[in-house]
Amino acid sequence: MKARVIKSIGLIMTVTTFFFQPYSATGQDIEHLKLNNKVSLHGNLNLQLEYYHASEIDPRKKEFSWLINGNPTLNLFGIQVPFSFLFSNFENKFYQPFNQFGISPYYRWVKLHLGYRNITYSPYTLAGHTMLGAGFDLTPGKFRVGFMYGRLRRSTSVDSSMYANPQLVRPVPVYKRLGYAMKVGYGTSKNYIDLIYFKGWDSEKSLSKSLKDSVQPAENKTVGLSGQVMLGKRLAWKTDLGFSAYTANSDDSKDTGNIDKENKWIKSIMSPLVTDKVSTRYYFAGETKLSYQMKKWTSELLYKRIDPGYQSMGAYFFQSDLREILFVNKFKLDSGKLNINTSIGFQKDNLKKLKTSTAKRFIGSANISYVPTLHFGINFNYNNYGITNNPLATSQGNESFKQVSNSVTMMPFFNWMNETSVKNLNFVFAYQSLSTPESSIGSIPDLNTYSVTAGYNHSWLKQGLSGNGALNYILSKTPQGDLESVGGTIGAGIPVMKRKVHLNTVLSYLSNKFDKKPNGNTFRGSLGAMVPVGTHHNFQLMINYLKNKAINTSVVENFSETSVQFIYGLTF
Amino acid sequence: MKAERILFYRLRHFWSLMPLFIFLMMAHLSSAQTAVIPLKVTVIVKPPVSSVFSEYGDLSNKVIITVMNPNPTVAYNRVMLHGSLKRTSDEYITTLDNYAPAQLLTINPLETKVFTADPVQLRFLRQEVVRSSFPELLTDVLKNNELPEGNWELCVQAMAVDLDGIVYQASDESCFPLNITHAAPPVITSPFNGQTVPSLQPNIIFSWTPPAGNVIGAQVVYDLYAVKVMPGQSPNDAIDAAVGYKANNPMVKTTLFTNQYVTQPYDLKLDTGTTYAVQVIARDLNKKVAFQNNGRSEVTVFNYGSPAVTAMMLTTQVTPPGQIYPVLNYDPVPVSEVKGKLVYRFKTASGVTGATVGNQSPNLNVSAPTHLPGQPVPDQMKYNQELLSTTGAKPLANTKISLVLTYVLDGKIENETYSGQVIKEGSLYNTQSYFKDMDKVISTTTTDADGNFTFNFMNVQNEIGLINDKLDLTTGGGEFKKTAIGKLYKVYRIRVENNYYCSSDMNIKVEPWKGVDVGTLVSLVKSYNLKVRVTWTKSPYWDSYKGKGTYLSGVPTYILRKSKPQNAPPDEGEVKTANVVYFRGPNHSSEKITDIQGYAIFHNLIQHDPNNFSDRYYINCKPDKMAGDVIFDPKEKSYYPLWDKDKNYFPFNSIGEYVPSSGFKIPIQFGSSIVWNSELVVETYTDSVGVQPGRPRITGKVEVAKSAGARPLSDVGVVSINGYKNNNDPSKLFTVVKTDKDGRYEFNNLDVETEGFKLGETSKVIGPTRTIVTKPEGFKGGSLPANPPMAPMLWGEQKVNMDFSLEPDGWINGYVEDENGNAVESDVDIDGFIKVTTKAELAGVSSGRGNIQFTTRQAFRTAVPSGDKRKIIIQPLDAGYFSKDTTINIKVSDGKQLPLIKFIVYKAQKRIRFQVLEKNSSGRLNLPGASKPVQELQ
């Protein structure tokens, strides 16, 4: 273990040393970049080291972890080369990679993509799925051309640890998945039209013969159409359409039996591109949005429809079998002192009547922020989420289900400030309820959570000192019993060594109850030191300790945890 | 088609066996003579409907199948059940034709059998006994053990076996619809995607919808994952790794029975200012329900709290410069944001760099409304506007800048007028006590590679802008007092924390919870001009040319650095043209020539860091050996104060101090304390360089006279005949040098004959006089000066154009014609010295009897260097002639009476060789002397 830690630290130091090399920097032409500009590098880098130890419970973190992550941009004679990387000791060859790196250099209208990239052409074709490969975007004049080829996921075998993972009910191996996407378009950022083609397929050779028996290789072709047009100065109309042909098993033979399939019109559209196989199915997804923007009011109306089962290998999983209407309004009133944002959405599934019941969802939210003076303000949030599941008349079962979730948060605050100090008193009142008035899957008790926090902060600006205290009350009414915690937090921030080092500490103590009976307490303490060096470097050391005492260990165990975290941040 | 064939086969088989069937029935039954009615089968599937294929392998307790024999007298023996799972009429999985259970049934007349839990009879769809209309369909279903989503039917049919063992259909199919759908995974409803959860809230409430779809019979539980998303990372990738192998230490809650989780005090702490990705995974403990995407919800993200007071901005919208926009934070601390772009340029009156002169306009808005009685005094200050032109400016990259609080006055301090200038420390007595937090740094940041910057800061100033419209402040007391009157403003300004640059005079006003994009700010480089005068040294010893201390014009002078400070502007100096730079940092220099007053002026030089002794320029002078009339030793001089006392008169960019080496050891300050653009005055400093005169020098060239081609004569001896007054050394009487390949000669470090040395007095030059002569072979000799000898040359005297233009001493007359006497116009090259072209002239030729015939010939007449075997090349202009090379002797002559030399050139002819043969004969005909006109051969 020790040797591994030392090896890891060695690797980290090697990588960081590379980035600590001095870089020459020079000014750039204000009008445009020129080839005679020199080389410069700017961006950020973050290094984290963490040691963790837990007693009396299974560890909830890795004992020692390191992670280095950066997003620098290299200016190479006028060519911008932004790249990103993430390395750590979390990599596991049996799963998709955690460690990634990639660059997207660009010069004028030419942009290249190399390495791990997340490119989006439209929401229903290539939509931000991580690809390890190469591609380009060309935008000469009003033309918009893009291409990307690469690996969407690597092949993974079944690892014994998968069987221990509760999530993986049925561990299956995964084929290596490859894909490419092309985009041809014309227009500006305000008015444009793009035609997109995406193809993804599983590489059969990527799995051994024995593993192939348990999983079938798939292939997918999607065609997308995206466009936006400004109807006047304030009204914009945006549309995204996707047509997908998804073959669950690419080994299937060609469908010569002319199987009666859904969405024949999509099949006829895509027939020049797709070999119709027995397991090939055709799907449609689309959304259209009208946006109207004024100085004090912005409004959006969205309609979305996604066929059940719609999927593109170029996109991560998203909810399908969905019809949605969403109406969003944003108001900025009283010279910006009063901001009101509202959103109302209706969703419905079972578009093809494949399910025995239809779920309707209502999503409503309101956010009001009112700051009339410097000394007082209030934020108010309300969210409502309702779902109603009604069985069809043909259903043999009773899948009726109703559930409503309400969430209210109110945060008034008061400030007193002058040139020497800032004092503020703030309150957070939060209430969340989950009510299930009707359920065919058994009675579900209501869940309610209340929390109140009163906090006071005092900052002495000249001295750089700060102190804070808070009182907390939390009550969660759960089916197992009420969970209740009462306690407080105190903290302070102190600059030392001529403000070169900033110390901070937070201590919190919460007395816990379960079902109205005392159930121990939770103590959490942290001590941190932050050392900014110049404007580019920041070193931080944090020590956290958690001690939980419980009487009823069926709810939570007695345990303690310690972690030591070192963070180095570099901006350059 | 295959399915149709099977059905047809079955039907045909069924009807073909009907007579036999009837016969058998009749044999068994004694009385009934009625037709046999098929069995009636009905099937009902008990909910829940499973999408798991193996669930249909044994339908015990999942279905209710009734088989009724409607015949009053006929019994059905050897009956069994077959079934199908049909997606469409074409796509189905059905029982193998030869399947038979272990035990066959008998259905007696009018008997109804109900099958609900009969494992023997209800296993007709298990994996081993089925086939499919499409083998791929069965393969796919068996691989996943799941029926694909869609409207399926479970169909059951009674089959019977006759005495010959042939299976026939004993009933019609009975079907029950199955809606096979995979349950939709949960949808996370709290925190909603993109939400910022205030870190003040003691707990986070995660909520999600239960999975929608066919979940009856399932025992659904949930696993909750929340993990940090690293900058640049895809939230989906972060979650995939967290779910797969707990990468990046996620918060994990498994086997939750309700669709909500409220974090508890003992849960893993979430870091404030961090983005988290969340996923909920639904699982069926009964393993009967399949979920789309393996039960994994869409990944959502939320931000937990704000990172720190200095970077708590949540709104980063694009706004036009100067526009105010709201800035929100979830911690109730008054915050503001100021963003913009910083550029720099030189302020120069010459306009060499920076298109406009940077004269600072007043910050006051003269067109502001006038003060009305009873109304507040109007604020006339211009806020958030840059007053300087940005033309020619470049981004000031990677530079530390501070947002500072300043006090600006529109009025007077004593007799000094302030029209929007900053009140500085020391301009009044005890300023800090009157102006709280004056020059306080509110926030600090560093510009990026493009000069962009953003300040996020606590904005605790209750008053920004006009804070006193009638300031009348007297500071100090007694004899030492200073009074300020006028309007007082408190504003933010951006100060460049780099002494090589001034800071913009932009006054920034922004209220708490507001942001402002101030656009582009201009920082002027703290620069100066340097005027260098080059003179002779004032040393009395030298009897120098033009006299001691004379300003030297035409002297190449340049400036260089030997090291450049790290933070200094990269493009100091000035550009003469697009390509020629007078001076740009270390090792990049180009000379300027001193004017008639001996001056060379350098612009855009950068003021110096008083604490960096290597931050200095060096002035270099070097003689021009091709121009000018003076010669001296090259001189380099450091431009830096030699003595501490001189430091007050030197362009330092900030305040430094020194301790005198004698007297009171009290540190003495020097340098400049200017901060703002409006304070910058680009001053011109002067320095002189005294150069020491060198020994006289004579240089020039020897070439053929222009009339004869002006060709340089190389390797020609040039002699200086020196006439000394007091020196009889014969070796000094002549000095000989030779011309180089360009015909140039140089007499360097010439001797100077002076009077005897007298301490402190000039030793007067008395000699030698000089006559420069040369006589190359083939040319007439030359001597300089025109009136020899040359007067004694003084120290530092240089003569650079002592050029000889020599005439050839020979002559040649000639003409060119061909072998037929035709004149041929030609170029004539004489030994490489002279090139002439013949000219047509009339020539009279005596034809006897006193007659003269006139003809035209191509002749040339030219002076040429004399000598033996001079090479003559005749090159006819008509390409039909060969050129001609020859050599002749050319004698010394004035030439004009010499006879003409004839040069004959020949036509460049071709030959034709032919043979004459007898017609119609293969033999060769020997016909010597046969001829044929060439024209006929063509």
Question: What is the residue-averaged pLDDT of chain A?
Answer: 84
Cα within 13 Å of Cα(A401), Cβ side: 24
Q: Any idea of the CA torsion for A304, A309, A314, A318, to the nearest 10 degrees? A: 60
Contact assignment for A50 to B249 by CB distance below 8 Å: yes
Task: Kindly report, residue by residue over B478-488, the tens digit of the pLDDT.
Answer: 778 889 999 99
Please check the confidence at residue B244 and state whether its pLDDT lies above 60: yes
Q: In Å, how far is A78's CA from the nearest CA of chain B?
A: 11
Nearest residue of chain B to residue A348 (CA atoms): B212
Confidence of residue B32 (pLDDT cuts 50, 70, 90): very low
Quickly state the pLDDT bin for B926 (edges 50, 70, 90). low
Q: How far is CA B809 from CA A527, B255, B783, in A?
A: 105, 118, 16
The span from the CA of A420 to the CA of A469, in Å, is 20
pLDDT at A6: 46
Q: Is there a contact between B248 and A88 if contact means CB atoms under 8 Å apart?
A: yes
Which residues, 6+ apart, have CB-to-CB distance to B187 below 8 Å?
A: A319, A361, B208, B209, B297, B298
For the ranges A68-77, A99-108, A293-302, A504-513, the lowest mean pLDDT is seen at: A68-77
Res. B721: pLDDT tops 50: yes
Token readout for B881 is: 């002639």
Average pLDDT over every residue of B244-265: 85
- CB atoms A96 and B237 under 8 Å: yes
Query: A64-73, A286-295, B345-354, B927-936 — which is least confidently predicted?
Result: B345-354
| pLDDT over 70 (residue B626) | yes
Residue ranges of alpha helices (H) inside A409-509 are: none
Those of residues 220-239 in A touching chain B at CB distance below 8 A are none
Cβ atoms of A180 and A197 closer than 8 Å: no
Give contacts of B269 with chain A, Cβ < 8 Å. 524, 544, 546
At A505, is the pLDDT very low, low, confident or very high (cuts 50, 70, 90)?
Answer: very high
Contacting residues of B for A130, CB less than 8 Å apart: 234, 236-237
Selecting from A399, A461, A510 the residue whose C-beta is nearest the C-beta of B216 gives A399
Angle (nearest 5°) at CA B116 between B113 and B118: 85
pLDDT at residue A309, rounded to an integer: 87
- What's the pLDDT at A15? 42
pLDDT at residue B26 is higher than 60: no
Is the pLDDT at B18 greater than 80? The verdict is no
Contacts of B445 in chain A (CB under 8 A): 535
Is A432 in contact with B207 (Cβ distance < 8 A)?
yes
pLDDT confidence bin for B316, thresholds 50/70/90: very low
Which residues on chain B are in Cβ contact (under 8 Å) with A477?
A: none
Distance CA(B933)–CA(B938), nearest Å, equals 9
Q: What is the pLDDT of residue A11?
A: 47
Beta pairing, strands A401-417 & A421-439: antiparallel
pLDDT at A170: 52
Cβ of A349 within 8 Å of Cβ of B90? The answer is no
Looking at the whole model, is its pTM more than 0.80?
no
Residues of B in Cβ contact (< 8 Å) with A474: 202-203, 262, 265
Query: Of B203, B205, B287, which is closest to A407 when you measure between CB atoms?
Result: B205
Residues B374-398 pLDDT 10s: 656 667 788 888 888 888 889 998 8
Report the SS3 class of residue B135: helix
pLDDT digit string, tens, across residues B536-576:
988 777 888 888 888 998 898 888 888 888 888 888 887 76
Cross-chain residue pair A522–B265, CB shorter than 8 Å:
yes
Residues 6+ apart with CB under 8 A from B526: B499, B500, B501, B502, B606, B607, B651, B653, B672, B674, B680
**Confidence tier at A395 by pLDDT (50, 70, 90):** low
Largest CA distance in chain B: 175
Region A507-511: mean pLDDT is 93
- pLDDT at position A8 over 60: no
Q: CB of B923 within 8 Å of any CB in chain A?
A: no
pLDDT tens, B171-230?
998 888 787 777 888 989 888 888 888 777 778 889 888 886 666 667 788 899 999 998
Gap between the Cα atoms of B199 and B314, Å rounded: 14
Residues B342, B328: Cα–Cα separation, whole Å: 25
- How many degrees, rounded to 5, is the angle at CA B659 between CA B655 and CA B660? 120
Ranking A320-329, B182-191, B323-332 by mean pLDDT, the lowest is B323-332
pLDDT-wise least confident of A345-349, B330-334, B519-523: B330-334
CB B223 within 8 A of CB B246: no
pLDDT at site A509: 94
Query: How many CB contacts within 8 angstroms connect chain A with chain B?
Result: 356
CB contact A571 to B (< 8 Å): yes
Tell which wins on pLDDT, B5 or B221. Answer: B221
Q: For residue A366, which of A345, A337, A349 has the smallest C-alpha distance?
A: A345
In the prediction, which pLDDT does B330 show? 42
In chain A the first and final C-alpha atoms are separated, in Å, by: 34
Residue B524 has pLDDT above 90, yes or no: yes
Name chain A contacts of B90, Cβ cutoff 8 Å. 257-260
Confidence of residue B317 (pLDDT cuts 50, 70, 90): very low
Contact B323, B515 (CB under 8 A): no
A430–B394: do the CB atoms touch at under 8 Å?
no
Euclidean distance between CA atoms B836 and B663, whole angstroms:
85
Question: Does the pLDDT of residue A500 top 50, yes or no?
Answer: yes
Percent of chain B past pLDDT 70, that is, above it, reads: 83
Strands (E), B781-838: 782-784, 798-799, 804-806, 810-818, 826-830, 834-837
DSSP labels for B53-114? GGGGT--TTTEEEEEE---SS--EEEEEEEEEEESSSS-EEEE-TT---SS-EEE-TT-EEE
Shortest distance, CA A144 to any CA of chain B (angstroms): 23
Contact B874, B887 (CB under 8 A): no
Q: How many CB atoms lie within 10 A of CB B702?
A: 26
Q: How many CB atoms lie within 10 A of CB B580?
A: 8
Determine the average pLDDT of the residues in B272-301: 87
Cβ-based neighbour number of residue B125 at 10 Å: 25
Q: By the CB < 8 Å criterion, does A157 face chain B?
A: no
pLDDT of residue A274: 92
Option in B268, B281, B298 nearest A60 (CB): B268
Q: How confident is the model at residue B24 (pLDDT cuts 50, 70, 90)?
A: very low
Going by pLDDT thresholds of 50, 70 and 90, the confidence category of residue A45 is confident
Pairwise pLDDT comparison (A498 vs A524), residue with the higher score: A524
CB A432 within 8 A of CB A451: no
Check residue A547 and give its pLDDT.
93
Question: Would you place residue B590 in the very low, low, confident or very high pLDDT band (cuts 50, 70, 90)?
Answer: low
Smallest Cβ–Cβ distance between B247 and the set A90, A413, A474 belongs to: A90
Q: Per-residue pLDDT for B239 more than 70?
A: yes
Q: Looking at the predicted structure, is the pLDDT value of residue A17 above 60? A: no
Instruction: Determine the Cα–Cα distance for residues B183 and B283; give it in Å rounded to an integer.
Output: 10
Residue of A206, A219, A217 lying closest to A155 (CA atoms): A206
pLDDT for residue B8 = 42
Residue B359 has pLDDT above 50, yes or no: no
pLDDT at B936 over 70: no
Chain B from 772 to 831: CB within 8 A of any A CB: none
Residue B774's pLDDT is: 93
Q: Where does the pLDDT of residue B366 fall: very low under 50, low under 70, confident under 90, or very high at 90 and above?
A: low
Highest mean pLDDT (candidates A31-35, A500-504, B333-337): A500-504
pLDDT level of residue B624 (50, 70, 90 thresholds) = confident
Q: Is the dihedral of CA A439, A444, A445, A447 positive or negative?
A: negative
Cβ <8 Å between A417 and B460: yes
Mean pLDDT of chain B: 82
A354 touches chain B (CB under 8 A): yes
For residue A259, give the nearest of B88, B284, B296 by CB distance.
B88
Residues of A in contact with B253 (CB under 8 A): none
Q: Which residue has the higher pLDDT, B342 or A106?
A: B342
